[in-house]
Amino acid sequence: MLREGYVPGQVIFGSHADRVVTLAVALVNELTGGQVRGRPVPRIGPTDLQSRARALLALPITAQETDELTRLAARLRPVFAAVEDGDVERAAGEVNGLLEAYRPLPYLARDEGQGGAAAWQLHFHSAGGGTEARWGAGCATALAAVLASDSWRRLGVCSAPVCDRVFVDLSRNGSRRFCSAACQNRTKAAALRARRRAGRAV
């Protein structure tokens, strides 16, 4: 979990926000349909969905919790789509909708860091109960922090053809356009083939 796109040690929005936004990305990419790396997302059954959710959160997840997380993932996707369209107003409206739905309550939790140094981390409960609300509260707050920063454009949807997976760009230069190296490579290869064809046509 938290594998793709998260570079440990490099912090863009604050280490906790970086991790939670990366989780939001993973929820959207693992639990919503659409297109992935050149093909439709394969239909998967409830059991596979549940094991994906389990792997994402590294927690035991029930079938009902899987449904709730799937619902949350569908609600997170439009934020990325709006930023990809350059429409920060629409993105802010979506995030405000999430904040209103999940009502995050901030609290400090002790994080026993490396080497025994205790640190406090800002976490978010939800005023409502349930898995969707709990994870939604954290995701909504982290996405709000991103949109309120100078780096709001770092959210996005893959630019490769036939792919709508989302990403957060935590790279130093912030020029990411693709969900994965696979999509970047196949886009490059397609452009190269197109140039070769154009060269032959002359």
What are the CA-CA distances from residue 19 to residues 38, 57, 98, 136 (Å)? Answer: 27, 12, 18, 14
Q: Which of 163, 166, 168, 170 binds Zn ion (CB under 5 A)?
A: 163
Binders of Zn ion in range 179-198 (CB under 5 A): 179, 183
The single-letter code of the amino acid at 151 is: S
Of the pair 19, 186, the CB lying nearest Zn ion is at 186
Using the minimum distance from each CB to Zn ion, give the nearer residue, 139 or 158.
Answer: 158
Only segment of 53-61, 105-113, 129-137, 160-168 that touches Zn ion (CB under 5 A): 160-168
Among 45, 43, 44, 63, smallest CA distance to 54 is for 63
Q: Is 160 in the site for Zn ion (CB under 5 A)?
A: yes
Tokens at 75, concatenated: 């609600």
User: Smallest distance from the beta carbon of 41 to Zn ion, in angstroms?
Assistant: 11
Name the one residue in this structure whose structure tokens are 């886009």: 187
Q: Measured between alpha carbons, how far is 200 from 202 in angstroms, rounded to an integer? A: 6
Minimum CB distance to Zn ion smaller for 61 or for 76: 76
Q: Which stretch binds Zn ion (CB under 5 A): 8-16, 72-80, 103-111, 177-185?
A: 177-185
Q: Does 158 bind Zn ion (CB under 5 A)?
A: yes
How many CA atoms within 13 Å lie on the side-chain side of 78? 14
Least CB distance to Zn ion at residue 36 (A) = 7
Contact (CB, 8 A) for 97 and 173:
no
Enumerate binding residues for Zn ion (CB under 5 A).
158, 160, 163, 165, 179, 183
